[in-house]
Structure 1
Amino acid sequence: METKLNRIKEDLEEFMKYTSTPGKGITRSSYSKEDTLAKNYLINEMKKIGLTVYEDGLGTLFGRKEGTLKDAPVVMFGSHYDSVVNGGAFDGQAGTISALEVMRTLVENNYQNDYPLELICMNAEEGATFGPSTGVSNSRAMVGTLTYEELNTVKNRFGQTKLEAMKEYGLVPDLEKAKRAPGSIKNFVELHVEQGPVLDRENIEIGLISYLAGIGRYTFRFHGLTADSTAPMSSRKDALVPASEFVVRFNEEINKLGDEVTGMVGRLDVTPNSNQFVPELVEGKIEIRTFSREICEKINFKELIVNLLESISTKYDMKYELEEIRRVNYPNPTPPSIMCAKNVKKMELICDELGYSHVIINNGTGHDSMIMTDFCDTNMIYVPSRNNGVSHCPEEWTDFEDIHKGANVLLHLIMDLSKKGD
């Protein structure tokens, strides 16, 4: 049994039409007209194959195929179909369409699953829509960590809060109804484009994920005083000097912690940014990535950062600020999201049987799967991103043939997981 390449290609090409920026990449923001068009297409396709179609309290779309076991936990698979502004045609969509095609294949082959199967189509994964740490909304709603506080405060580029955008879209959210009971989901599986260069560079067909790194983000600011470049050195309050020292010392501290964590100051904004004036304000962005749960338990990263800022601000007699960029109800940084090792082994065997080259990949951006790992057995499949792995831009590309291969791996894993005795 295998999926059909031509249908995957037709679906994805249809999805490329649902954009508010034709010719300038895919812009399919959450709760937009384009979101509605894509959702209606998915609903029609699911109804064609006899799935039970429904939405939860956050507007997440599901297509259900019952199994022989009654009141059993569900095997859930799919991805998101929203995009960033001027994004690509494969991020999220490749996984959604692959899951749809897997369902079609199972239905047309009269496959009898024991555990119920649910195709999940999510429309609010991209954090770019409402700002940092506001993405993966559908999965957070399912596990019960999305809050009304967030819905009422974060805003999109049009100045609408999430709640306002939802209501305009025709959705009155009910977070309690969106929550899944513990134990109600047996497995969660997501196919996604790699959004990186490894598979393309190494000419490997399938990436299998054993974990996704955790993430922590902070913004710091040093406040000095602007002055002309002729101002005496002894009178200056140059905000770039303590900021520069912080960059160096933070790097030194992270280096001491070993290979379980990485961290950097990846961006500095200087005001005024001129060779003629002393900087009065410097804002820096910190990003931390964690690769073990132990490092998150052992190190208080906020305390580490504050101690450095305190020491440096005292040294230069300069005020500082620290702002955490974090999801409500989640630590900062988060621990890594560990995938189900048993199913990684299963997918390695599936790839071998299908003749697909494969490799374990443990890097990449955030996905809904990272939210689900603490709730149920979760796994991810990566397919190659061409053009050196670029993503979130019009140049994003994954060959349809590569998605077809990933969909076949997904198909065989779902067949395995859907049977009694797994």
Structure 2
Amino acid sequence: MATDHDATAPADAPVRLLLPQILPALVVGVGSALLFLGISKIAEELQGVLWETLPDALDIGAYSSLWMITVLTATGVAVGLVVWKVYGHAGPDPASEGLGGPPMAPGVVPGLLLASTLALAGGVSLGPEQPTIASAIALAAWLGLRAAPNVPGAFWVSLAVAGTFGALFGTPVAAALVLSEALTGQPGPGSLWDRLFAPLVAAGAGAMTTQLVSSPSFAMGLPPLTDPGWQDLLAALVIAPLGALFGLLGCYAFPHLHRAFGRLRHPMAMLPLGGLVLGLLGALGGHLTLFKGLHETKELVGSIGSFSSGELARLAVVKLVALLVAGACGFRGGRVFPAVFIGAAFGLIAQALVPEVHPAVAVSAAVLGVLMATTRQGWVSLFIAAVLAASPAMLTLLCLASLPAWLVVTGRPQLELDHRGEALR
């Protein structure tokens, strides 16, 4: 005959399994955030030297064409030396790497972080997310498997991914969305929330660490949309798939550009040439098309009405080409933040052509479409677009706009290659 204790045992069992996960999740979450914050701080300091101190000392315009070409070419040389000479060659080909993946050897991490930091400071159109996540995974798996050899390596990988996503966006929500998408349909013990428990602890710890240290904000200063109407829904339904189509242009071009740089074979040929091309693109597009793009997106959105549709088109096209060149020639970095800038510029083109479109609708819907095309992460794309809009009323519009945008991108080439250089689908 079953007792009350026996009846409650199955319900208590998950609790006994989950509680011991809290401490390692907190440690990995805080560690991932400190890694991200440390690399970001070093890159910012070096950026100040390259783009403020040195040009001031030389009495050269910081964003003159000559200086942009010089700094970006020099950055290509510096990163090329790291990829060529430093142990581990700064990790695998970044064109074949997404957000996550199996752990690298820990000895590769210093070279990868050095290459990423130089690229961030030098103005390369890539973000910090992919190298930081890969480094956090490598370190968490290496230390975790030594501290607890019986714990599966996938556990440490999920904590590192979640902690870094929490740190990057200052909230655990993005991490929850990424992992929910990754875990869908995968076998495993317990419910989805049982499997998300420890990663959410890590994401929360990473987010709180970032909030306490640097107070990040993704607010772009867009005018809020408080009372959306049918015209706003129609605009979102049109702009999001158009943004996806624009992003897909880059996805189709990426393998060809990667093969073109690959024919040079040596990093000291590929990366300096890539840096030179990025410098020329910077001279064409201006300083807003440099760097990872977050601060530049805020500056762009804060100047609504100051750019013509032609100027905005130039910014969007130059930034897209710069993102493709940076990823194809071997610079280490992520594609999410540059894609946000591309989407914002594309959305402002629509708003400039049709002034009746609300700026929040134009920008957030276009960012949604471009991110869906370039990342193929539906929930994260929706999250970032909603955060940029900073308006709860926009969430319904974006959810609906994501549907035609997804129809545009599903089954199409991604902005990521397999190890043969072919586009993933």
TM-score greater than 0.5 by the shorter chain: no
What TM-score bracket applies, with the shorter chain setting the length?
Answer: under 0.3
Higher helix share: 2
Give the TM-score, by structure 1 length: 0.27
Specify the structure having the higher radius of gyration (Cα). 1
Higher strand share: 1
Give the TM-score, by structure 2 length: 0.27
